[in-house]
Amino acid sequence: MSKDTNTLKEEARKAKSRLKKGFWTDCKESMDERLEKARALGVNESKAGRYFAEQVTKQISGEKEDGFYLRVKEMLLSDGEVSDAIGRLTDKPYFDTLSYEEKQRYTLSLSERYLRALERFRRECEFESVDKKA
């Protein structure tokens, strides 16, 4: 048997286990509670539903927190949005070893990652009030 077949079998076992343990029933109840609270707080119900579904997907996949995102989150919580965010996030020793063109690519890539992390942070903050009361 191939590695993919074993992986598929393992995923099927995990799915069966979730069914037996009532994961989806609990998930549905939790989602309904959160959506009701979002509605009561005036949060866009559709956006909240997508956000909470994304959280369930992360839980199922066992996705680990991204180290870069955690650095951005820590910076945003301590200092807020700052004008020198890219400079603070730059790996200076590595950056110093790059050529001019590589520095430009690195900075652009870092900027794109920062903007994605900032968007994620804002989205999490938006639904934090609903999530904490759940």
pLDDT, tens only, 84-134: 999 999 999 999 999 999 999 999 999 999 999 999 899 888 777 666 644
Among 2-6, 56-60, 80-84, name the most confident range. Answer: 80-84
pLDDT, average across residues 35-47: 79
Q: How far is CA 33 from CA 19, 42, 51, 52, in A?
A: 20, 14, 14, 11
Q: Name the residue ranges covered by the structural domains of the chain.
A: 1-63, 65-134
Q: What is the pTM of this model?
A: 0.61
pLDDT of residue 131: 65
Contacts for 61 with CB less than 8 Å, ≥ 6 apart: none
Report the share of the chain in percent with pLDDT over 70: 87
Looking at per-residue pLDDT, the higher value among 4 and 90 belongs to: 90
Q: Are 117 and 68 in contact (CB under 8 A)?
A: yes
CA 18, CA 6: separation in Å to the nearest integer? 18
